[in-house]
Amino acid sequence: MEVKLHAARTLVGRLRGAAAVRDAGATAAAVAELRRASKDDPEVRAPLADAGAVPFLASQLTAPSTSAAAEDAAAALLNISLSAREQLMSAPGILDALARAIRAEDYAAAHHAAAVVASLLCVDAYRPIVGAKRALLSALVSLLLPSKARGTRATKDALKALFGVALYPLNRAALVELGVVRALFGLVMTDGRTGIVEDATAVVAQVAGCAESLDAFAAVSGVRILADLVEPGGAATGRARENAAAALLNLVMAGGERAVAEVLDVGGAEEAVRELAEDGEASPRGKAKAEALLQALEEGAAGARRRHEHRFADFLNGLVVSDPYFSSPASATTHDDASRVTLG
């Protein structure tokens, strides 16, 4: 490891020297060398981070240098993140630099930067930290929009990162507020790439697990779209179908009776879920999600009926109290007797 550390210090020293004299060409060459080393030798990644490579690489993500330098810097950070996530995450300003790189016009740098975020989110403890960076979340969502379409790799990297963000429940409301639901359903409805649709529905399933998502889903007919995907042949792959069922389940669990009512209001939705639960070719995961969803729908509908009946009973009891002609049996006898006396 002493050899690795010495090599890492040498590489970082070249980058530091080139940056100090503002030699763009030498800086780009040093960054490219760091990228190659971090790719070819996994054992040098942590020493590179320990030697201080991360801040210098982060500064190159959006520096006024060549496009190749930004791409190489993002790729080197991705390589380093695979072995030294803690050192990467602790570098000052790293998340802000990644957000700016994702927003930049450089496609290659953007998708590598999104992949870095996805890599960091493999650590549970980092999810709330990343979720607190709204600029970073917004940048990731922007990669899903048609106006920012950057190819399959950038979109998939953004979806992987957003999935990691949404695994932390308290991040979901922020994603909904930033427009992720409309962006995700836009991909589901218009993108023909199988892998993209599968990944998009996986993120939809996670985002659905917060109460704030219900209105956002309603605005894009999300329940109808998911129900259509659950139907046999509605989705291109079994995984997308399972993800749709999982999304409906999470929506119902988070949205309560209102969500149950919206699912049941979609014609054929309950039947489609039942077919998935009874489909012998479906995966155990898909069948389990469908069975849990059926149970949640039945319990939610039964609970709504009971509450409706109780409200109706309370309404009648209110009439008894407020209207003397809706009275107790004893009072009714008294009124009847009084009537006889008057009439007699």
Give the C-alpha separation, 165 to 74, whole Å.
20
Task: Please report which helix (H) or strand (E) contains residue 315, including its range.
Answer: helix 284-322
Examine residue 162 and state whether it is found in any structural domain, yes or no.
no
Examine residue 323 and state whether it is found in any structural domain, yes or no.
no
Query: Is the domain of 66 the same as that of 212?
Result: no
Query: Is the domain of 233 the same as that of 275?
Result: yes
* pTM, 2 dp: 0.86
Q: Is 151 left (phi over 0), alpha (psi -120 to 50) or beta?
A: left
Average confidence (pLDDT) over 173-197: 93
Query: Is the domain of 176 the same as that of 146?
Result: no
- Retrieve residue 269's tokens: 């939705």
Query: Is the domain of 134 the same as that of 231?
Result: no
Query: Is the domain of 145 the same as that of 191?
Result: no
Question: Where are the extended beta strands (E) located within the chain?
Answer: none
Query: Does the pLDDT of residue 341 top 70, yes or no?
Result: no
Identify how many contiguous H helices and E strands the chain contains and give both numbers.
20, 0
**Pair 184, 207: CB distance under 8 Å:** yes
Examine residue 76 and state whether it is found in any structural domain, yes or no.
yes
Domain containing residue 140? 1-153
Query: Is the domain of 248 the same as that of 312?
Result: yes
**Pair 173, 209: CB distance under 8 Å:** no
Query: Is the domain of 136 the same as that of 187?
Result: no
- Retrieve residue 200's tokens: 């998009």
Give the C-alpha separation, 300 to 284, whole Å.
24
Q: Give the per-residue SS3 of 177-202.
A: HCCHHHHHHHHHHHCCCHHHHHHHHH
Give the C-alpha separation, 101 to 109, whole Å.
6
Task: Please report which helix (H) or strand (E) contains residue 114, including its range.
Answer: helix 107-120
Examine residue 53 and state whether it is found in any structural domain, yes or no.
yes
Structure confidence at residue 157 (pLDDT): 95
Structure confidence at residue 307 (pLDDT): 57
Examine residue 286 and state whether it is found in any structural domain, yes or no.
yes
Structure confidence at residue 65 (pLDDT): 55
**Pair 142, 103: CB distance under 8 Å:** yes
Give the C-alpha separation, 188 to 29, whole Å.
41
Query: Does the pLDDT of residue 252 top 50, yes or no?
Result: yes
Query: Is the domain of 79 the same as that of 205?
Result: no
Q: Model confidence at 10, in pLDDT bands (50, 70, 90)? A: very high
Residue type, 185: F
Query: Is the domain of 92 the same as that of 227?
Result: no
Could you read off the pLDDT of 60-85 as tens digits, one per residue? 997 765 678 899 999 999 999 999 99
Examine residue 338 and state whether it is found in any structural domain, yes or no.
no
Nearest to 102 by CA among 164, 34, 157: 157
Share of residues in the chain with pLDDT > 90 (%)? 73
Query: Does the pLDDT of residue 335 top 60, yes or no?
Result: no
Least-confidence region, from 111-125, 176-190, 292-306, 312-326: 312-326
**Pair 289, 296: CB distance under 8 Å:** no
Structure confidence at residue 64 (pLDDT): 62
Nearest to 59 by CA among 41, 73, 45: 73
Query: Is the domain of 146 the same as that of 183?
Result: no
Query: Is the domain of 22 the same as that of 110?
Result: yes
Examine residue 327 and state whether it is found in any structural domain, yes or no.
no
**Does residue 6 sit in helix, strand or coil?**
helix
Could you read off the pLDDT of 100-159 as tens digits, one per residue? 999 988 888 999 999 999 999 999 999 999 999 999 999 999 999 886 556 788 899 999
How many domains, in total, are found in the chain? 2
User: 186: domain CATH number?
Assistant: 1.25.10.10
